[in-house]
Structure 1
């Protein structure tokens, strides 16, 4: 009886641990900075590769604690909702189940000392065997309870073709603010018995998971084509172009930089940010929320780009009794937490300080109302149909009797360059 209870307790603990495993982009250590994860062909690109193609993704990050540490990594297969698949590791990975990051370099001629780590996947030790969603976990000393960071990886085996367009919303009240995505999926290369149960398509705006809309049923079927154009689906807020600043050099004031101070550390004061919720759209050039680590004064930004304390000031015309603004972008995974939260001063302004590596950064402010606790990324930024946005479309396929969900199609769409 005692052994039975012990066994049940172990099973319960393992189940609880599995349920608490992270399946989203996140950084769990304050000393880990500047996490980049992209298709190796283009920095800041969407982290997707074609299965068995020789393509790779690059993961790079800095450890500001200095020295060297033992960081391991592994992949886990997930379904379209980022729940773990009912597969053993041997069913979705070739070679080993985990590996150590042994490619690192120390910073050179910088105020802030750091160690830069980098890996490429697939490699000779970790190779995805099947298509689908994968969560990449990096952890310390071979212990997955010592989580360092997680990243979402997409491995596609293309069996479908996608065509898509963006138009104004069918809802008359939203036509000046919303962008509606209509698309068609060609399944002529598949044996699909019931598209409504076997196929689903995720549409994201600017690769932001929180904007994702899952399509589980086509509007109608025309031969081997699935049409998704119902008036009520895939209607996105256009939002606004991202704000940005440029610290590629710390020797002179560049775009949006008011002042640079150098002492025992670099300090960058940015120009104040006003609310941009205006009646009409204004064109700004942005990178759709991305960031790029670049050092114009060095030879290799991975090791000679320095860090700076960057000060942001927001004139929101909102008091702390009404709510709180947060600063977000791809650089912090759009996380609303204490690290992205702004503080209120006695002059009615909101401010924060972030330690960021040299480069070009997109960012925006999200307002969280104190009463409703709901985040709003248009209240301070504005919402316009004319905004240039990128849309990602991912086609998932789970045939009858299959134990996992495949990723069989991927498409990109630009709202302006259609």
Structure 2
């Protein structure tokens, strides 16, 4: 009996210490498309707002099932690792804990019928009370078991200053491919007792969570400044500029479009994509992985931009025996799943088609090798120091004795505009 009780005790201890998977940007229903989430001042911008300001974020998405449905939403406070904070909703939210999305419009003059939903936060019903990471949950009929989508929201109370530079890697073998970020955090506006345990900084490339590096301790401390410049940290693959296509109009072929067919639906055949892993960098202009819903032939792309089946084909110079290719971008949250997987055929090319709303899209291909099972977006795209990238720096602070982590600083750096 004693050993049985001990085993049960160990089980509950392990369960209590086990972490749930971190919250991430995700869409859980196939009929939900074109999810946008950004600071309302600029489309496709980083979804961050200042606590207590008049700034808002905008959420927009389409429901291709038509009609109207009851969509509710709430916010949940998280730490820097996107685990739920150990505080109640009453401690981080004013007013109500959840609400219903009531702003929607029906599509007009489109082949594909849909309902567009829109939400702005904060609003009179949902207001963040403290700074930090928040996960926005949208679900159906007030039931969080019927999850529709999740989005990461950042609420900052700017109390520190961040200064950063980008240089080539300190490692000789990586100088032609990698970008190293060195930065300093000035904590004079904070009451920090032990910077090595109370402050940590997260870096992302092009707002892409999969690139995130979390700095838990500074290289050294200089007065009120925390310096992060160790030779082995914050070394990012430069990668390549994103590929793109433009479907702002479906009346004529734009760059990268081979043919457009109109019948009961719009079908767009794109030109073939080559393997871009070449010896030298080629200058191209991109939107750092973003997408924009636009329609030159209408007045309001929220309701009159149509959908099209976009057909992609890739000459990867690799076969299905070597691995699998995926197509990713901000438009699909960089998710590697069945929806982003390409199929290989006997012609030696990889194919897929996606149903996407009119606009301008950045995208790239990720290769998952059969031997390593590790995703790599440089195998098919190339990797160059000269690539223009944006870096987001988020400074988190957990005061001694606090039960949650604050977001006390934010900075953005462009590798080509220092």
State the TM bucket, normalised to the shorter chain: over 0.9
Q: How does 1:189-208 map to 2 (within 5 A)?
A: 189-208=189-208
CA distance in 1, matches of 2:28, 2:359: 23
Could you say which residue in structure 2 is the equivalent of 1:130? 130
Q: Is the 8 A contact 2:395 2:407 kept in 1?
A: yes
Could you say which residue in structure 1 is the equivalent of 2:57? 57
Q: Does 1:320 align with 2:320?
A: yes
Could you say which residue in structure 1 is the equivalent of 2:30? 30
CA distance in 1, matches of 2:244, 2:160: 36
Q: Is the 8 A contact 1:248 1:360 kept in 2?
A: yes
Could you say which residue in structure 2 is the equivalent of 1:5? none
Q: Is the 8 A contact 2:291 2:330 kept in 1?
A: yes
Moved beyond 6 Å, runs of 4+: none
Local SS of the residue matching 1:159? coil
Q: Is the 8 A contact 1:315 1:349 kept in 2?
A: yes
Name stretches of at least 5 consecutive residues in structure 2 with no aligned partner.
1-7
Could you say which residue in structure 2 is the equivalent of 1:4? none
Could you say which residue in structure 2 is the equivalent of 1:243? 243
CA distance in 2, matches of 1:281, 1:29: 39
- TM, length-normalised to structure 2: 0.95
Q: Is the 8 A contact 2:49 2:155 kept in 1?
A: yes
Residue by residue over 1:112-152, the C-alpha shift from the partner in whole angstroms, topping out at 9 and shown as x without a partner, is 00000000000000000000000000000000000000000
Could you say which residue in structure 1 is the equivalent of 2:4? none
Q: Is the 8 A contact 2:19 2:83 kept in 1?
A: no
Q: 1:306 to 1:254 in 2, by over 3 A?
A: same
Post-superposition offset of 1:20: 5.7
Q: Does 1:75 align with 2:68?
A: no
Q: How does 1:174-193 map to 2 (within 5 A)?
A: 174-193=174-193
Local SS of the residue matching 2:152? strand
Could you say which residue in structure 2 is the equivalent of 1:256? 256
- TM, length-normalised to structure 1: 0.95
Post-superposition offset of 1:271: 0.3
Local SS of the residue matching 2:118? strand
Compute the RMSD of aligned alpha carbons. 1.3
Local SS of the residue matching 2:331? helix
CA distance in 2, matches of 1:42, 1:21: 31
Could you say which residue in structure 2 is the equivalent of 1:173? 173
Residue by residue over 1:43-86, the C-alpha shift from the partner in whole angstroms, topping out at 9 and shown as x without a partner, is 00000000000100000000000000000000000000001000
Could you say which residue in structure 1 is the equivalent of 2:152? 152
Q: Is the 8 A contact 2:101 2:118 kept in 1?
A: yes
Q: 1:166 to 1:314 in 2, by over 3 A?
A: same
Post-superposition offset of 1:399: 1.1
CA distance in 1, matches of 2:256, 2:217: 46
Residue by residue over 1:265-309, the C-alpha shift from the partner in whole angstroms, topping out at 9 and shown as x without a partner, is 000000000000000000010000000000000000000000000
CA distance in 1, matches of 2:417, 2:303: 36
Could you say which residue in structure 1 is the equivalent of 2:103? 103
CA distance in 2, matches of 1:167, 1:21: 34
Q: How does 1:105-124 map to 2 (within 5 A)?
A: 105-124=105-124
Q: 1:21 to 1:107 in 2, by over 3 A?
A: farther
Post-superposition offset of 1:339: 0.1
Q: Is the 8 A contact 1:260 1:267 kept in 2?
A: yes
CA distance in 2, matches of 1:351, 1:25: 26
Q: Is the 8 A contact 1:22 1:150 kept in 2?
A: no
Local SS of the residue matching 1:400? coil
User: How many residue pairs were aligned?
Assistant: 405
CA distance in 2, matches of 1:304, 1:52: 35
Could you say which residue in structure 1 is the equivalent of 2:296? 296
CA distance in 1, matches of 2:35, 2:22: 17
Could you say which residue in structure 1 is the equivalent of 2:402? 402
Q: 1:124 to 1:21 in 2, by over 3 A?
A: farther
Local SS of the residue matching 2:258? strand
Post-superposition offset of 1:19: 6.4
Q: Is the 8 A contact 2:178 2:238 kept in 1?
A: yes
CA distance in 1, matches of 2:198, 2:91: 21
Q: Is the 8 A contact 1:366 1:380 kept in 2?
A: yes
